């Protein structure tokens, strides 16, 4: 828990690869939202793609599997989903 508060206090400590994964989540969710506005479908596809990328890297050995990379993608997508939800209501 202390690590979370430390990151909130010093956002520059977030690694660049996590920032890139976050932005991938933002862009991916925006692209999915072009085709549907159902938030459950968007979330399902987002989780599927986020973990699919990570498992793909694990199986092909083209990168390293990191659970936190998938979490960063999902958090980026959730940011867009909250903005969409606020505009829908």
Instruction: Give residue 89's pLDDT band: very low, low, confident or very high (50, 70, 90).
Output: very low
Please tell me the total count of domains within the chain. 1
Taking 80 as the threshold, does the pLDDT of residue 52 lie above it?
yes
Taking 90 as the threshold, does the pLDDT of residue 41 lie above it?
yes
Six-digit token string for 62: 């083209």
Residue 6: inside a domain? no
Instruction: Give residue 29's pLDDT band: very low, low, confident or very high (50, 70, 90).
Output: very high
Residue 8: inside a domain? no
Residue 3: inside a domain? no
Domain that includes residue 23, residue range: 15-88
Supply the DSSP symbol for 30.
H
Residue 2: inside a domain? no
Residue 41: inside a domain? yes
Residue 37: inside a domain? yes
Average pLDDT, the chain: 86
Calculate ∠ Cα 88-29-33, nearest 5°.
50
Contacting residues for 25 by C-beta, under 8 A, at least 6 apart: 46, 50, 72, 73, 74, 75, 76, 77, 78, 79, 80
Task: Tell me which of 1-5, 62-66, 67-71 is least confident.
Answer: 1-5
Residue 46: inside a domain? yes
Residue 72: inside a domain? yes
Taking 80 as the threshold, does the pLDDT of residue 9 lie above it?
no
């Amino acid at each position: 828990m202390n690590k979370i508060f430390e990151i909130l206090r010093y956002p520059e400590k977030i690694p660049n690869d996590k920032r890139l994964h976050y932005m991938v989540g933002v862009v991916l969710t925006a692209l999915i939202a072009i085709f549907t506005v159902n938030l459950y479908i968007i979330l399902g596809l987002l989780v599927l793609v986020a973990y699919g990328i990570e498992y793909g890297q694990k199986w092909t050995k083209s990168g390293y599997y990191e659970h936190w990379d998938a979490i960063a993608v999902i958090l980026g997508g959730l940011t867009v989903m909250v903005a969409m939800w606020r505009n829908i209501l």
